Structure 1
Amino acid sequence: MSVSRPSRRDEFEVAIICALPLEYDAVSYTFDEFWDQDGDRYGRAPNDPNTYTTGRIGNFNVVLALLSRMGKTNAASTAASIAMSFGGIRMALLVGVCGAAPHNKGEEILLGDVVISSRVIEYDFGRQYPDKFVRKDTLEDSHGRPNKDIRSLLVTLQTDRGLNRLEQRTISLLQKIQADVFNTKHRGKYGYPGTSEDTLFETTHRHKHYGSPSCACRSCFCDSDPVCEEAISSSCAELGCSNGPVVTRERLRPKQRAEQDGEVTAQNPTVHIGLVASGDKVMRSAAERDRLSKAEGVIAFDMEGAGIWDELPCIIVKGVCDYADSHKNKKWQLFAAATAASAAKALLSCYIKPDRPGANPTLSESAAAAVTHRRRIEQRILSTLWFRKIDNRRETILDAHRATFQWALKPPTCDQRWDDLSQWLRAGTGIYWISGKAGSGKSTLMKYLFSLTETKTLLLRWAGYRGCETADFFFWCHGTPEQKTQDGLSRALLYKILSSHPELIPEALPAMWREAHDGQDKIESPSPTEAEKAFEVISTSPDLGKFCLFIDGLDEYLGNYQDGISFIKRLAAGQNVKVIVSSRPIPDCVAAFRGLPQLDLPDLTRPDIYAYIQDVVGKHPDMKKLSEDDPCGSEKIISDLVDKSSGVFLWVVLACKSLISGLARNDDATELQSRVDDLPPELEDMFQYMLIKVEPRYRTQGTRLLRLCYAEQEAQGWTELNDNYALALALVTDNNLKPYPIEIFTKERKVALCKRLEGRLRSHCGGLLEVVKRRTTAVWPNPCFCGPVHDNWIDARVYFIHRTVFEFLKDEKVWELDCLKVEAGNNFDVATSLSLGRLHLATQSLEQSPREDQALSCLRDGVQWGSKADRDAPQSRDNIFWKMMPFLDLLYTPRLTVRNPFVDLPTSMTAWINSRTPRSPWPLMLVQ
C-alpha cells in the first residue's frame, strides 16, 4: 500500500509520544521518510504548544511529539493538544523506557525486553490513611479498557503466531537501527550492554553503603528505612552493594552461551503484554514493586501512560531498562529505547490500516463535530442518571478496624461454617447474601469487600480475559428518595457502568438518547422497565467484560421488598453479572435467599470483636497498668464484653466508649467490671443507658444537639446540608430578641467552632453522634460540575452512629426520658435555629465566590426552615421574621437574584415570603 505525503493535518493516523530525548532519538531512526525535512508545512491548532516531527513509518503517516517534562499531567496535556491539532489520529503509541517487575505470569522479564500495555492503572491515585494507602479503583475512578480497534490488535498479538511475528519483526528492526547508527558518529550507541550487566537483587537487598559507619545507611535495615543522599546518586559498584544476594534468572543462561559464541541472538528481546502501572513518581522500591505485581498483576511501571490513556486511543510500548528497585542505573536506557522503538514499528506493521473515506475536505470536520455532539448527549444523559448523594452513604461508613474481617476471603473453618465467599468470587454465579442483625457490621464488611484489592483479583479469575468491573449501591432509609428506592439503585449502577462505557448509551437507554438527541429541555430518568432493558443490554454486550455488583442494606429499601428482591434476582440471572447483597434477616430476604450462598455475620465476628476491644481498650495506657496488676481481671472484662455483645459491633463500640470513660475517671478493675455488668445487652437499652450516663450539667446541650440532628435527618428529603459548621452555627444561635450578629468568620474561627462542637458531641450526647470528615475533594462528584475544595474540618458531617439511633429517637416516649426531658432552653426552637444557621452559612459561602451554589442551597434551606418555624409557632413569627430579615437583605445580591433561589419553591412558600417580609426586596423579585 503506497502512502502519499499528507495534504492536511487530519490525514495523520498515528501519534508517537516520547518522554525523554533519548527515546525520541531511537524512534526517529524508525521513520522511513520525514515530511518536514524541508521545514514544517502542517502547522498546529491555536493554543497547541507542542512541537511536532512528521513523517512516515511503514504504511502510516505519523506525528512524533516529545514531552516538555515527564509526568501524567504533562502527558495528558500533550495528548489533548495532539487530538486538537491532528483530528484523524486513530492510535497513539507511548514509546520509551520503563522499570519492570521481574516476572510475568511465571515468565521471566529481562533488561532489554519490551512491555506492551493491555491496560493501565494509576498506582499512586487514591487515599492515604494513617495505616495504609488505598488505590481508587471504582468504575468512575479507573481507566477503562482500550477501544475495540486496539483490543482486537492486542488479542491477535497475544496468540502464538501474532507474538512470534511481532518478536521476530522487532529483532529485525533492532538490528537495522544498530546498523544505521554504526556508520555515524553515534556508532555503538544502541549496543547490547551484555548479560553481566543484567543483575536482579533479592527484594530485601537495599541500594546503600555497605561498610560506611557514619551515614544514614548504617541504620537502613528494611524497605522503609532511609539511606543517605550520596547513596541515592551512586552506582552499586561505588557503594559496595553489587555483591549482594542475586536472583538466578534461567533466561540469562542461553543468552550467556550466545554471548560466548559471539552470536547476535544474545540481545534478542522478548515481548510481554500485560498491565502497566502509571504514576507521578519513579518506582524505586522492590518491595512495593513486588506487592503491586502480586496484587494487581502489574508487569511494568511508567510515568506518562495514565495521562495519555484517557485522551487518545493508546498503547504503551516500553523497553525495560531496570527492575523498578533502588539499584537503578542508566546503562540499559539506550538499548531499551531502541528495543521499544523497534517494537513500536513492528506493532504498526501488524496493525491493519482501514480504508480511507472519500476525499471530502469537510469530512474530518463533520466527523469531529459529530463526535463532539455525541459526547454532549452522552454527558447529558449521565448527568440525568447522577444524583448528588450517589456515594454519600458508603463514604460515611467508617473503614473496617484494622485486623478485622480478614477471615472473609479465607476458607471456612471447622468450627465456623459459611459458604466460601472467596470461592464464590472466583467461580460462583448469581447472588451471595450477607445477613446480620442491626449493628453487626454488614455495611462495614460490604465497604471492606468492595474496596479490597483481593476481591478484584478473585473476580478476575472468574471473568478471565474479558475482565471484571464492579459497581456499588448502599441503601439509606433516612436519606434522599434516590438513596432508598429502586429508581436510585438503577440510576446509580447505570451511571457508574455507562460512565466507563458511554458507547453503549444509545442501545441501553434508547428513549433517553432520543430525548437528548432531539434537544428536549428535560430528559426523563429511565423507568423500571427501561432500566431493566439497559442492564440486559449491558450484561449481554460482547464488547464488555463481566460485572459484580455490591448492594448493601436491602432491608432499607423503600417500597415492597419483593419488588426490590425480584429486581436484584433478575440482575443476577445472567452469566455475566453476579451480586453480593446484604440485609438484616427480614422474612422476605430469608425466604428469597434460602439455599443461596450466604454468611450470617454475628456468628463469625467474635474474633473481630475481641481484636477491636483489645485495640481500643486493651491498649489504653491505664488498662495496660491494670492488666499488669490484675491480668485475670482485665482479661475477664474483655471476654465478658465479647460474650455480651452477641456479635453486634455497634454495641461493642458504645461499650468501649463507656469503659474509656471509666478509665478517664480512674476506675479500677472492679469498677470497670461493674460497668460491664451494668451494660444492657439489647441495643436500644444500650442507647438509653449511654444517655443516662451523660452528666446532668451537659444534658441541655446534648438534648439540643440530638434534636437538631434528628430534625436534620428527618428533613433529608429537602435539605441539602448536614455539616458540622452549619450545625455549629445553629447551636450558637441564642434565639432572643437582639439582632443576630452578621459577620464573616475567619477560617480559624470556623475551625475552632467545629472543634468545639466535636468536643460537645463526645461528652454531651452519649456517643450517639459522630463527626465524619470529608474524604472527597470536591462538592460535585459529577464530572458535569466543578465545585470548591473541601476543608477537612469545616465541611465535616455530623451523623448518628447508626440508623438504629434515629429509629430509637423516632419513638416520642424516648424524648420523655428524664435524661432528655430537660429544657433545651426557654428560647430554643429547632426550626428557627436551623433557619438562622443556614442563612448565616449562606452569607459565609457568598464571600467565597466558588461556593455560590452552596450559598443558594443554604438560602433555600434557611427559608424553608423559617417557614416551618412559622407553622410550628405562629405566636413567635414576628421574632422569627425579625431575625431572618438582616440575612435576606444581605443576600439580595445580583449574583443570587439572577439565579432566583425560590424559582422551584411551591407557590405556598413564595406567598409566605411575600407576606412575611414586606420590607425586603425579595418579594418584588418574586412578583416579577
Structure 2
Amino acid sequence: MKRFRESEGHATSKRQKNSYETTLSSQHVDHYTVACFCAIHEELAAARDMLDEFHQCPPNVPTDDPNHYTLGSIKGYGIIITSLPEDGYGACNASLVAANMKRSFPRIRVNLIVGIGGGVPNKADIRLGDIVVGTRVMQYDFGKTVEDGKSERTAIPRTYDHLIGTTLTSLRSKHDRNPTRVPSILQQKLGKYPDTLRTDVPDLKVSQTGGQDTQHTVEIHYGAIASGNQVIKHGVARDKLAEELDVICFEMEAAGLMGYLPCLPTRGICDYSHSHKTNEWQRYAALNAAAYTREFIEELRVTREQVALVSNPQAQQSTLQERRKQLLDLLRFDHIDYRRLTIKKHHSKTRQWFLTHPDYKRWLDPAGLKENNGFIWMNGKPGTGKSTIMKFAYLEMKRSTRQAGEDAVTASFFFNARGEYLERSTIGMYRSLLLQLFEGYRDLQVVLDDPEVIPSSQKDCPSLVALKDIFWNAVCAPGHRGFTCFVDALDECDKQQVRDMVDYFEDLTEHSTDQNIPFRICFSSRHYPYIVPRYGIRVILEDQSGHSKDLENYIKSRLHILDSALIEELQLTLLSKAAGVFMWVVLVVDIVNKEYQRGGQALRRRIAEIPGDLSELFRDILTRDTDNMDQLLICIRWILFAEWPLQPVEFHLATERMKSFVIGSSKGLAEVTKSKTPTVQFIHESVRDFLIKDKGLHQAWPELESGWQSAAHEDLKQCCDLYLNYSSVVEFSSNLIAEPKPISRSKHRAEVSEKYPFLEYASRHILDHSNAAVERVPQD
C-alpha cells in the first residue's frame, strides 16, 4: 500500500491554503535539520500554520516508518513536523515517534516540542494563553516502591543541548529590551482568519476568584515542566507535585522525547490541571506556543552545512558511508575477542542442561520479558565453569538463530583480567558489543550520524559517555528486532566500572521492555556481595543439579581406572570435596590418574590429603615437592608481570625452555592457549588470585621480601638486557641500521619477528620493567 505524507492544505482548520504558502517538490531527507513534535491535532494545526512553505515527502523515507510527517521550511530551515497517534499521547508513544523520526531524518539538529500544557497558578502569575518554556523536565511518575510502601521518584532532570541553550539565551536577552514577536507572528500568519485568534473565553484562573480578564497580554514564563503518563486533574495533587518538583507546568510527552533526544518543550497554557479542566483554550494556547517556536527558530544559528540543501545526494551518501566505516574501524581493537577464543571447548557430555534450564527458558520466553526485563545473571565460585557455559550458550544461540533464519543479533564480550586495558574495561565492552550490533544490523549505523553524540570533526574513538549513548540509541531504535548480549567475567573488570555498567543495563532493559523491544542481557561473575540487581533472574551455578551431573560425567569419562566399583567410590568422594568447582575436578582427576598409574596402593590416602578448597589445592600442587622451584618462580614471574601475554617462542627465549617447560615447571598451573596466536597464561584467573591475594607465592618461597614485585621486574629487566646484548642480536641490529636501501616497516617487522622473536618485546619493555623495579632495587 502506498504511504501517505501530508504535503499541502490544512485538514483541521477548514480553510484554503494561504496565499503566502507554496508547495515544493520533495527534498532529500538530509535537508531537514529542525524537528517539531506535537501530540494532538490542535497542536499540529498550529505548528503547520507557522511554515513558510510546504514540501512533498522525500522518496527515501523508509517504508517501515509509521510516522506521519508535515514537511516545509521557515526562513530557509528545513522543518519536519510530526505528531502522536490519535488518543496515543504519553511518554511511551512520544519516544517511539522520536525514534522513527530520528531514523528517517538523520540530520535533525534541533528538536522542539510544541503544544499545550496545564499551568500552576500558585507558582507564578500564569494566565490562560501564556507560554511556558521548559528549562528542565522532570518525569513525576517514574520511581520505585521502598519501605512501608512509599514511592520514591528516581527520574533525573532532563534538559536541552548546548545549541538550544545558547539560542534560548539570545532570544531571552532580546525580550529583555523588546517584547516578544508572538502577537505579530500570529497576525502575519493568521490575520485573515480572525476566528482563529479569538480570546473571548473566560479566564478560568481569574474566574475562580470572581473576576474575568480577556485582555491579558501573552507572557512568557521560563521554568521546570513536569511530565508523566497520566493527566493531572486535581488541584491539591497538582500543588503538591509542583511544590515537590519546583515546576510551573504539567504535560505528558516531554519526558518520553527527552529520554531519547534533547528537546526544548514550549507549552501554551490551556488549563490549570484541576477539576475544571476544559478544552476551550487549547486552540489559542497551541497557536501561541507555535508562534514562540517560530520566533525561536528564526533566532537559530546553525552551520551552513547543516542548513544547506543537499545538491548531490549520491556524494553525500558516499561521504556518510565512509564516515560510518571510519567510526566502525575506531571501535575495533586488538584482541577484541581473545578471551572468548581461548576458552576451552566444553566436554562433550556437559553443559547441555543449561539450554533447557527453566530459568534460562524463562529468560528467552517473550511472555516473560515484562517480568524479568530480559535480565539474567549467573553467579558461581571461581573455577565452576561459568565462562565455558557462557561461550557454549552464546555459540548455541548464534547457531540456532542462524538456522531458524531469525532477524536477530547475538553478541558477546568476555572480560579478560590478564589482557590489555580494553580487554578488562567497560569501554572495551561497549566498543565490542556496538561493533557486533552494527555489523549484524547495518541499517542501525544511522545512529552514528548524530553530530550531538559524535561531532563530525571527531577523529578518535568516542568517549565512554558517547558509547553508552550510541548503544542506547541503537538498541532502542524502532523495528523491535532481537538483540541478545552475553557478558562474561564481570569480576575481571574494575568494581566501580561494573557498578556503573549494571546500573546502565538495568535502566536500558527496563526502558527497552517498556517499548516492547526484545533486548536481553546475560551476565556471569563470581558472587558479588556489593552489587544487588534490582530485578531479573539469578542462577547460582554450584546449586544446579545439571552442573552436578556435568561434574559426575566428567569424572566418569576422564578417570583411567578399570575397576568400576572403585570409580563409583572415587566419584562420590570427589564430588563431595569439589563443592561444585569444575577446575578443582579437572586438576584432581589428573592427580588421581597419575597416582593410579604409579600403582595406586596409596590412592585413597592421597585423595584424602587433597584439600577441597581450590586455593588450597593450588598451594598443595606448588609445595608438595621442591623440584625445579627456580624454574617455577621465573615462569610465574613472566606470566604475572609481562607487559603483554608472551607467545610460546617468546616465552622459550625469555626462560630458555621449550613449550613442555610451560606445563611441566609450572606444575600444571600454566598453559599454552589454543588460539590463532597462542600465548602462555595461567589455567585460570583464580591461580593469579591465589599467588597474589592469597599470598601463595610467599608460602612457596618464604624468602621473598616485601618488595618482591620490584625484584621480579628487576629479573625480567635483566632477561631483556641479556637478550639485547647477545652478539647475534647486536650484529643483526647494526646491519639493519647500516642498510643502504630503505626498508618498509612491515618487511622490517616480519624479518625481526622471524629471526629474533623476543627482540620486539625486549626492546619495547626493558625500560618498563626497569621503572617498575626502581622502587626497591637500586639501578646501576
* TM-score normalised by the chain length of structure 1: 0.43
Contact 1:422–1:458 under 8 Å retained in 2: no
Amino acid at match of 2:697: W
Contact 1:708–1:834 under 8 Å retained in 2: no
Partner of 1:391: 337
For 1:730, which of 633, 654, 677 is the aligned residue? Answer: 654
The superposition leaves residues 522-553 of structure 1 with CA deviations (integer Å, 9 ceiling, x where unpaired) of 3242332x233322322232346210111112
Partner of 1:640: 573
Q: How many percent identity over aligned positions?
A: 23
The superposition leaves residues 167-217 of structure 1 with CA deviations (integer Å, 9 ceiling, x where unpaired) of xxxxxxxxxxxxxxxxxxxxxxxxxxxxxxxxxxxxxxxxxxxxxxxxxxx
The superposition leaves residues 646-694 of structure 1 with CA deviations (integer Å, 9 ceiling, x where unpaired) of 0001111111221233234x232x422222111101111111001123x
Whole-Å Cα distance in 1 between the matches of residues 639 and 507 of structure 2? 38
For 1:441, which of 353, 360, 385 is the aligned residue? Answer: 385
Partner of 1:865: 765
Contact 1:440–1:650 under 8 Å retained in 2: yes
Whole-Å Cα distance in 1 between the matches of residues 313 and 331 of structure 2? 27
Deviation at 1:826, TM superposition (A): 13
Whole-Å Cα distance in 2 between the matches of residues 500 and 442 of structure 1? 26
Rg larger in structure: 2
Partner of 1:545: 481
Partner of 1:910: none
Amino acid at match of 1:396: T
Amino acid at match of 2:614: L
1:851 paired with 2:737, answer no
Partner of 1:381: 327
1:407 paired with 2:347, answer no
Whole-Å Cα distance in 2 between the matches of residues 493 and 827 of structure 1? 35
Whole-Å Cα distance in 2 between the matches of residues 663 and 558 of structure 1? 43
Whole-Å Cα distance in 2 between the matches of residues 552 and 460 of structure 1? 25
For 1:681, which of 612, 620, 629 is the aligned residue? Answer: 612
The 1:468/1:805 distance shift into structure 2, 3 A limit, reads same
The superposition leaves residues 584-614 of structure 1 with CA deviations (integer Å, 9 ceiling, x where unpaired) of 221234x215x63232111221111111122
Partner of 1:196: none
Whole-Å Cα distance in 1 between the matches of residues 602 and 508 of structure 2? 54
1:701 paired with 2:631, answer yes
The 1:385/1:544 distance shift into structure 2, 3 A limit, reads farther
Aligned length: 441
Contact 2:363–2:375 under 8 Å retained in 1: no
Partner of 1:562: 499
Partner of 1:64: none
Contact 1:835–1:865 under 8 Å retained in 2: no
The 1:869/1:426 distance shift into structure 2, 3 A limit, reads closer
Deviation at 1:459, TM superposition (A): 10
Secondary structure of residue in 1 paired with 2:523? strand
The superposition leaves residues 858-896 of structure 1 with CA deviations (integer Å, 9 ceiling, x where unpaired) of 766424532245443798967xxxxxxxxxxxxxxxxxx
1:422-461 equivalences under 5 Å are 422-427=361-366, 428-429=368-369, 430-453=374-397, 457=400
* TM-score normalised by the chain length of structure 2: 0.51
For 1:476, which of 416, 422, 434 is the aligned residue? Answer: 416
Amino acid at match of 2:391: K
Amino acid at match of 2:384: S
Structure 2 unaligned spans of 5+: 1-59, 61-102, 105-310, 737-744
Partner of 1:603: 543
Whole-Å Cα distance in 2 between the matches of residues 475 and 588 of structure 1? 19
Secondary structure of residue in 2 paired with 1:592? coil
Contact 2:349–2:553 under 8 Å retained in 1: yes
Partner of 2:533: 592
1:679-828 equivalences under 5 Å are 679-693=610-624, 695-712=625-642, 719-732=643-656, 756-757=658-659, 759-775=660-676, 795-811=677-693, 813-818=695-700
Contact 1:446–1:552 under 8 Å retained in 2: yes
Whole-Å Cα distance in 2 between the matches of residues 469 and 499 of structure 1? 9
Whole-Å Cα distance in 2 between the matches of residues 615 and 768 of structure 1? 22
For 2:584, which of 651, 654, 660 is the aligned residue? Answer: 651
The 1:836/1:405 distance shift into structure 2, 3 A limit, reads farther
Amino acid at match of 1:646: A
Whole-Å Cα distance in 1 between the matches of residues 694 and 764 of structure 2? 24
User: Structure 1 stretch 420-429 or stretch 546-555: which is displaced more?
Assistant: 420-429
The 1:459/1:875 distance shift into structure 2, 3 A limit, reads closer
Whole-Å Cα distance in 2 between the matches of residues 868 and 676 of structure 1? 44
The superposition leaves residues 778-798 of structure 1 with CA deviations (integer Å, 9 ceiling, x where unpaired) of xxxxxxxxxxxxxxxxx4211
Amino acid at match of 1:386: R
Secondary structure of residue in 2 paired with 1:377? helix
Whole-Å Cα distance in 1 between the matches of residues 593 and 702 of structure 2? 23
Partner of 2:594: 661
Deviation at 1:765, TM superposition (A): 1.6
Whole-Å Cα distance in 1 between the matches of residues 724 and 503 of structure 2? 42
Deviation at 1:510, TM superposition (A): 2.3
The 1:433/1:637 distance shift into structure 2, 3 A limit, reads same
The 1:633/1:392 distance shift into structure 2, 3 A limit, reads same
Contact 1:839–1:862 under 8 Å retained in 2: no
Whole-Å Cα distance in 2 between the matches of residues 482 and 809 of structure 1? 24
Amino acid at match of 1:690: I
Secondary structure of residue in 2 paired with 1:830? helix
1:78-227 equivalences under 5 Å are none
Amino acid at match of 1:799: Q
Contact 1:400–1:444 under 8 Å retained in 2: yes
Deviation at 1:857, TM superposition (A): 11
Whole-Å Cα distance in 1 between the matches of residues 452 and 477 of structure 2? 19
The 1:448/1:701 distance shift into structure 2, 3 A limit, reads same
Deviation at 1:723, TM superposition (A): 1.6
Secondary structure of residue in 2 paired with 1:588? coil
Whole-Å Cα distance in 1 between the matches of residues 666 and 549 of structure 2? 29
Partner of 1:220: none
Question: RMSD of aligned C-alpha atoms?
Answer: 4.0
Amino acid at match of 1:422: K
The superposition leaves residues 379-415 of structure 1 with CA deviations (integer Å, 9 ceiling, x where unpaired) of 211121111121111112111111101111225xxxx
The 1:475/1:812 distance shift into structure 2, 3 A limit, reads closer
Amino acid at match of 1:490: Y
Partner of 1:84: none
The 1:420/1:390 distance shift into structure 2, 3 A limit, reads same
Secondary structure of residue in 2 paired with 1:587? coil
1:831 paired with 2:717, answer yes
Contact 1:770–1:801 under 8 Å retained in 2: yes
Secondary structure of residue in 1 paired with 2:484? strand
Whole-Å Cα distance in 2 between the matches of residues 369 and 837 of structure 1? 55
